[in-house]
Amino acid sequence: MLLWFVIIYWIISVAIGLYAATRVHNTKDFAIAGRHLPFYMVTATVFATWFGSETVLGIPATFLKDGLKGVVSDPFGSSMCLILVGLFFAAPLYRMNLLTIGDFYKKRFGRAVEVLTTIAIVLSYLGWVGAQITALGLVFNVVSSGDIEKETGMWIGSITILIYTFFGGMWAVAVTDLIQMVIIVIGMLYIGGSISGMVGGVGVVVDHAMQAGKFEFWPALDLKSLLAFAAAWVTMMFGSIPQQDVFQRVQSAKTEKIAVWGSVLGGSLYFFFAFVPMFLAYSATLIDPKMVSELIDTDPQLILPRLVLEHAPLFAQVMFFGALLSAIKSCASATLLAPSVTFTENILKPMLGKMTDRKLLLSMRMVTLSFTLLVTIYAINSKASIFKMVENAYQVTLVAAFVPLVCGLFWKRSTNQGALAAIFCGLAVWLALLLVGGEDPLVPAQFAGLIASACGMIAGSLLPQLVRGPLPAEPEHAFLHHHAAAESHHVPEHPLHHPASSGEG
């Protein structure tokens, strides 16, 4: 019966996504839902996009082994990312009325920076989407009692999600996210109540976890531990800010105010609900310690599904797997769309020359198809855990795209030379430490890459200015002031003249 529920739920959700596709008439509808999403839908898309396989399966497995110290990157770093986006990035980016995050780099720093950051952003999605597809294979394998192989389940999951994402784009993502958020919240709360009743209440589980040292959060006061802690936190908190899926939520909002507070509320809800799967997984140590000891070192991601299948009644199983599938589907659809849109807009479109909007929309759909096939093959061949796939995904954007985004928005003296130096230094140091730094370096590679990127931006921007003299005074240097005053519905026809984007900086 559980497998039949999964099949029926899958068919209904695909049908809803295809119905939403009727609202897609052009590339703006496909990429950012025509900027028509109300507050509740923006909040739902922010929450549901992040509440994925790593939240239900990856984070609880890591928490069981390492406690709160092990999950500093997610949910602590990832939820802070969404809140920071709302507070500091949503408003200025929304006013620019762009289609992709790559468009910002082009307007601010020129074509070379646009290409390099876009490639980094697209590559980062391999791990993120791969984690969702891996989880789909795991779910189909579990609910079918092994009759469906994991690899087969991955293909079934990725192809069916592709169907409505291919046709519906951001509209399909937004509508299905809203429904899936409701299912996630109701399902998680119901199964939480059901499991807590088996162990004598929430307090019993919390007390047991506290006595076991699972709530120890802060690292030891030595340099290596502090650097590792900081690196884990900033990887998700900063590395996921320059991402197309986060950017799409900002741009899809009906107003600037909705973009800001939808991100803040969605991030806050994500943080609180991420603790429910951790509570459920730790309850397994009290309900079935033998099963936990068997899986903790082999496949801890299976602990929570096994707990529900073996100890919860059928309705609770239906609610749990409904919530789990909703989480994975909402995450996977959005993260299939995001890299496909930005690759088409910022890499493919300039290469192909002038295109009609209809041809550009077709290109976005074909890239979505190609990326789905690529990432499914990657997921099948990857040996990393779901949590590690997600955590590692954002290292490349942390070292290559974060500093140019921040400085491009908030430091008027940043130039295209500085942005290029930031990208080169960040990537070079990060890759060098990954190759020669060993398995447990003193300074984590991504943290060193972030520092190198910041140094590259400062040196690359200021040194030429010291040699040639300071940048011209206003009004030539008016990039940010122009966009701050621009109407939210206005799309400039040509990039603004700026010393940084014209190579004069």
Confidence grade of residue 385 (pLDDT, cut at 50, 70, 90): low
What pLDDT, on the 0 to 100 scale, is given for residue 473? 42
Q: What is the C-alpha to C-alpha distance for residues 414 and 458, in angstroms, rounded to an integer? A: 7
What pLDDT, on the 0 to 100 scale, is given for residue 14? 84
Least confidently predicted of 132-136, 289-293, 469-473? 469-473
What stretches of 212-313 show up as alpha helix (H) in DSSP?
Answer: 223-237, 244-252, 256-273, 275-287, 289-295, 303-311
Q: What is the C-alpha to C-alpha distance for residues 490 and 476, in angstroms, rounded to an integer? A: 21
Question: Which one, of 429, 412, 344, lies nearest residue 121 by Cα?
Answer: 344
Question: Which one, of 85, 489, 487, lies nearest residue 261 by Cα?
Answer: 85
What pLDDT, on the 0 to 100 scale, is given for residue 467? 72
What pLDDT, on the 0 to 100 scale, is given for residue 503? 39
What six digits make up the tokens of 83?
A: 């809140």
In the block, which residue shows the tokens 């003249």?
Answer: 497
Average pLDDT over residues 277-286: 91
Give the Cβ contact number of residue 36 at 10 Å: 16
pLDDT at 495 over 50: no
Confidence grade of residue 494 (pLDDT, cut at 50, 70, 90): very low
- Asked if residue 165 lies in contact with residue 242, where contact means CB atoms within 8 angstroms, the answer is no
Candidate ranges 291-305, 315-329, 409-423; pick with highest mean pLDDT: 409-423
Confidence grade of residue 301 (pLDDT, cut at 50, 70, 90): confident
Q: What is the C-alpha to C-alpha distance for residues 393 and 328, in angstroms, rounded to an integer? A: 17
Average pLDDT over residues 127-144: 85
Q: What is the C-alpha to C-alpha distance for residues 237 and 271, in angstroms, rounded to an integer? A: 13
- Asked if residue 138 lies in contact with residue 292, where contact means CB atoms within 8 angstroms, the answer is no
Average pLDDT over residues 78-105: 94
Question: Which one, of 231, 250, 219, 242, lies nearest residue 81 by Cα?
Answer: 242
User: Could you report the per-residue pLDDT of 142-182, keeping only the tens digit for each?
Assistant: 888 888 898 999 999 899 889 989 998 889 888 888 888 88
Average pLDDT over residues 305-334: 83
Question: Which one, of 93, 113, 94, 96, lies nearest residue 105 by Cα?
Answer: 113
pTM equals: 0.83
What pLDDT, on the 0 to 100 scale, is given for residue 404? 97
User: Could you report the per-residue pLDDT of 329-344, keeping only the tens digit for each?
Assistant: 878 888 888 899 999 9
Q: pLDDT: is 486 or 107 the higher one?
A: 107
**φ, ψ of residue 399 in degrees (nearest 5):** -85, -15
pLDDT at 477 over 80: no
**φ, ψ of residue 37 in degrees (nearest 5):** -75, 130
Confidence grade of residue 469 (pLDDT, cut at 50, 70, 90): low
- Asked if residue 35 lies in contact with residue 28, where contact means CB atoms within 8 angstroms, the answer is yes
User: Could you report the per-residue pLDDT of 208-253, keeping only the tens digit for each?
Assistant: 999 989 999 888 888 988 999 999 899 989 998 999 988 988 889 9
Q: pLDDT: is 35 or 420 the higher one?
A: 420
Q: pLDDT: is 380 or 489 the higher one?
A: 380
What pLDDT, on the 0 to 100 scale, is given for residue 200? 86
Give the chain's mean pLDDT.
85
Confidence grade of residue 386 (pLDDT, cut at 50, 70, 90): low
What pLDDT, on the 0 to 100 scale, is given for residue 418? 96
Cis, bond preceding 464 (omega within 30 deg of 0): no
Confidence grade of residue 387 (pLDDT, cut at 50, 70, 90): low
What six digits make up the tokens of 477?
A: 């240097």
Average pLDDT over residues 245-266: 92
pLDDT at 489 over 50: no
What pLDDT, on the 0 to 100 scale, is given for residue 57? 82
Q: pLDDT: is 54 or 492 the higher one?
A: 54
Average pLDDT over residues 272-293: 90
Confidence grade of residue 199 (pLDDT, cut at 50, 70, 90): confident
In the block, which residue shows the tokens 């990725």?
Answer: 158
Give the 3-state secondary structure of 20-76.
HHHHCCCHHHHHHHHHCECHHHHHHHHHHHHCCHHHHHHHHHHHHHHHHHHHHHHHH
Q: Alpha carbon of 232 to those of 49, 228, 455: distances in Å?
A: 21, 6, 20
Percent of the chain with pLDDT over 70: 91
